[in-house]
Structures are given as C-alpha cells and as structure tokens.
Structure 1
C-alpha cells in the first residue's frame, strides 16, 4: 500500500462516502448499511468478506423493515428538498434542517402541512440516516430544537385514534367470511389478532414452529387450553397467551387449527397466500397490508357504523383497531391487558382503551371530599 493511501486523512474517506450516499439517495435506508467495510489498512479475505456480509445483515435487522422504509422515504424527500433549494444534504446543517422543518409545518407551495408527529418522525429519520453515513446530527442545536418546539406549541393536536373493534363487531365481521380456504385463513387472522391484541406485523410474521424461516417474527405452540405465541416484537421478545373461546364459532384457537389443518401447514409461515380459486395454500407469507385491507373490507360488509359515509367508515378502522378492541373490551385488571399488548407503561395501555370506567378509582372521595 502506498504512503499516500496510508496517510489519507479520515475525513477525506468520509467525504467520499458521503458523496456516494448522496448519489444513491434512491436506495433504501437499510441499504446505506452497505458502507460497513474493512478499514483501509486491512487486506481483504474470504473469511472477512463473509463477516462483512453478516455484519450488514445485522445492521439491517437493527430496525424494523417498515421503519427502514419510512426512514428511506424521509431521506429521499429531504435530499430532493435540498436540491430544489440549491444546497446539499451533506454534511448536516442544523440551520438548513430547521428551515426544512419549517417548510414541512408551513409550506409555501401547494403541499399540505404535515402533522407534528410526522415532522418529528421525519427528524428521527434524518438523524438515523446521518448516523448511517458517519455523521452526528445534534437535535439539541437551537436551530432545530427551537423551531421544533415552536411547531409543537403552535400546531400540536391530540392524536387521532382509530376506532376500536368491539366483541360484537368482530363477530359480525367474521360472519361475512365464507368457509372456503381463504375464509378460514381470514377468520383465524381476525380472531387471533383480536384475542391476542396483536399488531398486524406480528400476525403475519408467525411461523408454525421455532426457527422455521429466517424472516420469522415468532411461533405458535397450541396446547389443550389455548395457545402460546412467542413474538419478537418491536419491544423485544414476549409471550402472548390466548385461551380458547366459549364456542368453536368464536374461538381463535379453533379457527387457527381449522386453517392449519385444511391448508396442510405444519412448517414455515402460518398465514400465507392462497391460489386464485382459493382452494390451495401457497408458500408466500402474507403482507401485513392484507390485515389492514381485511379489516376495512369486513367492516364495510358487516355494516358496522353504517350511519356514516363509506369513506368515513374506512378511515375509522385500521390494523390497530384489533389491539384497541381488546384493550377496550377485556374487563380484567389493567395489568393483564398491559402485559398482553406488550406495553411498557399503563399509560400507553390506557391510550388504547376507547371505553373504560375512568372514575372507578375516585381520588376525590378517597381524599375525604
């Protein structure tokens, strides 16, 4: 190796890497971890190249797939904005990022203003992308923190919550499904998602057994009294216990067993696509978007909130409606609901409870008034 290469300043390499990243802004955020490489003074080898590939896989797995997609979109939007303003995204400029946040909250053009939560997420996406490129973004810099605080003070609104799917709703929804193979699958998805308070990504990531597939997000153990779901969720590994229902018609475990039996699934992804005629289970795992579409479709067919226009009914419900439904319907100690949903705090669980006795504990009377 020449002296020139040995004595090359570190910031020169960073600048070169930054230029490459800027040129490839259309690549996904997870692919920015491809910058993981050997130090310049180390000679490559087959063994080290294998380790680099493995390290890149770990780097991609550090954040959820949907988070990676969102951060990639955030970076792409910011790069385009910078070029339209005649500036460059690298290195990070707190002044320019402050102006970017301002334009998101109060755009001068035809673009709609973004919500405070979306702006906050965009900033997190930029910080993550800068970190992948070897830069630190100081979010406490006054050009960023002061602008963001002002945006929150002026534009913050209470979070818009999706409607909860209540027990009578879920029964009406599953009643719209046929008893063909596809209907058995979708019935299991709705009942299991509701009884487990599961995220849509947790539902479709389940495998029949431990370690069946590389992209598994957990597995199911079916027992006499119910099923235990071991999930690798965004908050870490947790177990979800789902007991059997009072009848086969409403039992999530019976619905799951029916699907597994007729689909002939004993290995790999549990919830998979079916053939066009709905008579054969395929190998491809379902997308989590299927759960959202399934909920909206069955809500419309079942006549839930029929007094509202169709557009409003569709906007009311999403994948989170299943989690909110369990939290709002289970009349047990709040701690059990918190555990089932995998929440770190009781306050987060209460956000999911659309109906509850808010004054069950009356501190006014307890204080003697």
Structure 2
C-alpha cells in the first residue's frame, strides 16, 4: 500500500488515471474475447459474455476477490516503483516478494503463507491476461526459497472444537427461533465437518436458487447433503444422534419447521424480535461470529485471556473438531471432509493420533 505521504500527494488526476487503469485491468482480466479475424455479432457477443460468466465460476467468489486484491496491490506497487506490471518480469516480481517479506514498506512484513498466496494470485492474474508466470525462474524461486528459510514459522492451526465443547456451546443457546437456527448450524457443521461457506450455501431442494451450493434430503436414519465444494460435488451423510437435544438432524428439522422454510436457503436471518424468518441467506461470517460467541459463553479455554480465546477458534474449528473427535477409520473422516488425500485429513486431526503409535517402545526402549 502507498505511504501516507504518497497518499497525500496524489491529485484528482492521479486518482482518475488509477481508476482508468483498474478498469482496463478488469477488462483484460476477463480474458475471453472474439478472435481478431472474426466479425462480432449480437449472438457471438452474448456467447462471449456467457463464456466469461463460466470462467468466473471456475473459482469461488472469495478466491476471485483475493486474487483481485493481489493484482491491485501489485500493480500499485509497480506504478510507485516506476515499472509496468505487464508483461511479467521475474526480476520485478522477485523484488516485490522481497519487499513484502522485509517489512520495509509502510505496513509490516507479511507471513510466508501470505506471500506464497500473493504469488499464486499473480500467476492466476497473468494467466487470465494471456501470460505465463514461471515460478521456477531463479529470480522468483531463489528469493522465495530464501524467504521461507529465513522467515518460515510452524503453521498456526485453529483449535478443534471437541465433543464436550460443542455440547457446552449449544447449551448456551435459547430455544427461540434464532436459537433453533444457530443450534442447527453448529450441530450440522460439526457432524458434517462442513466449511462455513458450505453451511450457509445450502438450499432445501436442488436448484431452488441460482447461488445454491448444495441441498439437503432428510431420511429416517439421517440427512444427506449434496455439496458443490472446493474439490467438486460430494455427498455428506449425517446420521441421527443418540438424543434429540444434540442430534443435528433433529435440530435441522426443528429449525425448518418453526421457521416455516420449505424452499430456498436453509439458513436465513431472523426479524429483530426473533419471531420470524426472513428471506435473505446468512453470510458465512455469521458462522464464525456464532462460534466465537458461544465459545466465550460456554467458558471454553477460560484459562486464557478473552482475546487469545477468540483467536484460537474459527469456522475451521468445526471441521478440525470432527476429525479429532471421531474415533473411526481415517478413510471415513477423509470422505466426510472431502479431502483428496489422507495427509490433508491428518492435518485436521489435531490431537487424535498423538502418541497412538509409540515408536520409542517399538524400537525396544
């Protein structure tokens, strides 16, 4: 980001030029145009727009927003340094990465994971503009390797919400309409090992809404969720619990019944008095806020200061909690979470497998 001095010296003309450049970048990022030798027509122009819509759907909205911010930050950096972002220059990108890691900019140094993600964002943006970014180029690869060697830290993982935690959290919720909804969100998210975006994207039926990320089917023995997730379509089976108070399927049915929801988004907002369900789908940030609030209300990790407790838990704590608490064969956990590899699943199993295999004793000590 530009410094305060740089911001204060900008003129309306500069701002207008930057807006025009950003607009041009957006047009270029669409990437799909008619060949130069083909004459345009109403039909072809509509097909171009359709193709662009499909191209944008290749990545999630959150990913596209992050990549757009990455590109915006890099292009501003280039303009401040008197360079052009196009075509890609490995030398300049190497300097950009060094700047991000060194903390020489007005803002603080970025983590290795964030720098790596920024580089992925640049590679994606260049591809959309018809360029190829060679991450193995020595100007990029050696700088990034040095950054990782010098600044890498162990990954900071969110704490899992374990079985006793989720029971304590749902116990803090009232039995009004809003409480029924939030109880269903927590129990369904925990039992399904769902991402927060997957929870709020659910519809009652298939094709209820254009923005749907999946739908639900309720059977005698449980609920089947069909999800359009990061790794593609997958089915998640959620069996009924041992008692109604903590059964995710029962909680879901209670919410749908009392909220009178039989079409469209499963999880929606409620009126101020909490007595009526609204039409608008919940934002995934609601899930994160709900988890943090109920963690505090339930007194989980009360040995820590409040800020540390809030930092310790997030939406991913539900997925990590299922992976850590479910004492079943690892392959079933992997399938439920929708992971492509067992190694990814093991990253979520925060405490389950610790010291289960004792190589010290196996080695004769």
Question: 1:27 touches 1:72 (CA, 8 Å); kept in 2?
Answer: no
Structure 2 match to 1:271:
267
Provide Cα deviations, 1:156-207, integer angstroms capped at 9, x if missing partner.
1111000111111111111111111111111100000000000001111111
Aligned to 1:248: 244
Q: Secondary structure of the equivalent of 1:163?
A: coil
**What is the CA–CA distance in structure 2 between the aligned matches of 1:364 and 1:308, rounded to whole Å?**
33
**Structure 1 stretch displaced more, 309-318 or 85-94:** 85-94
Matches of 1:90 and 1:180, distance apart in 2: 56
State whether residues 28 and 68 of structure 1, in contact with CA within 8 Å, keep that contact through their aligned partners in structure 2.
no
Partner of 1:25: 22
Q: CA deviation at 1:302?
A: 1.3
Partner of 1:211: 207
Shift of 1:50: 2.2
Structure 2 CA distance for partners of 1:238 and 1:302, relative to 1, 3 Å: same
Give the deviation of 1:362 after TM superposition. 4.7
Stretches of structure 1 lacking an aligned partner (at least 5 in a row): 1-19
Distance 1:26 1:263 in 2: 43
Change (3 A) 1:27 1:353: farther
Q: Does 1:68 find its partner at 2:84?
A: no
Question: Which aligned pairs between 1:153-192 and structure 2 lie closer than 5 A?
Answer: 153-192=149-188
In 1, the alpha carbon distance for the partners of 2:73 and 2:29 equals 19
- Once the two structures are superposed, residues 128-166 of structure 1 have per-residue CA deviations (whole angstroms, 9 ceiling, x without a partner) of 111111211111111001101111111111110001111
State the Cα distance separating 1:84 from its structure 2 match: 1.6
1:11 is matched with none
Whole-Å Cα distance in 2 between the matches of residues 359 and 246 of structure 1? Answer: 30
For structure 1, which segment, 250-259 or 357-366, has the greater mean C-alpha deviation from structure 2 after superposition?
357-366
Aligned length: 349
Call closer, same or farther: CA 1:336–1:21 in 2, change over 3 Å. Answer: farther
Distance 1:141 1:357, change over 3 A: closer
Q: Which runs of 5+ in 2 are unaligned?
A: 1-16
Query: Match for residue 312 of structure 1?
Result: 308
Matches within 5 A, 1:1-369: 23-25=20-22, 33-362=29-358
- Superposition CA RMSD, Å: 2.0
Q: For structure 1, which segment, 212-221 or 190-199, has the greater mean C-alpha deviation from structure 2 after superposition?
A: 212-221
Deviation at 1:293, TM superposition (A): 0.8
CA distance in 2, matches of 1:38, 1:26: 19
Post-superposition offset of 1:24: 4.0
Q: Distance in 2 between matches of 1:123 and 1:245?
A: 44
Q: How far did residue 107 of structure 1 move?
A: 2.1
Shift of 1:43: 2.2
Deviation at 1:26, TM superposition (A): 6.8
The one-character-per-residue Cα deviations of 1:19-59 (angstroms, maximum 9, x if unpaired) are: x9994437997x75534222222222232222112101101
Q: Distance in 2 between matches of 1:170 and 1:223?
A: 24
Q: Distance in 2 between matches of 1:28 and 1:277?
A: 46
Aligned partners of 2:359, 2:47: CA distance in 1, in Å? 59
Distance 2:363 2:19 in 1: 62
Partner secondary structure for residue 84 of structure 2 = coil
User: Which segment drifts farther, 277-286 or 232-241?
Assistant: 277-286
Residues 110 and 49 of structure 1, relative CA distance in 2, 3 Å threshold: closer
Q: In 1, are the aligned partners of 2:30 and 2:128 still within 8 Å (CA)? A: no
- 1:268 is paired with a residue of what secondary structure? coil
SS in 2 for 1:136: coil
Change (3 A) 1:112 1:212: same
CA contact (8 A) 1:166 1:328 kept: yes
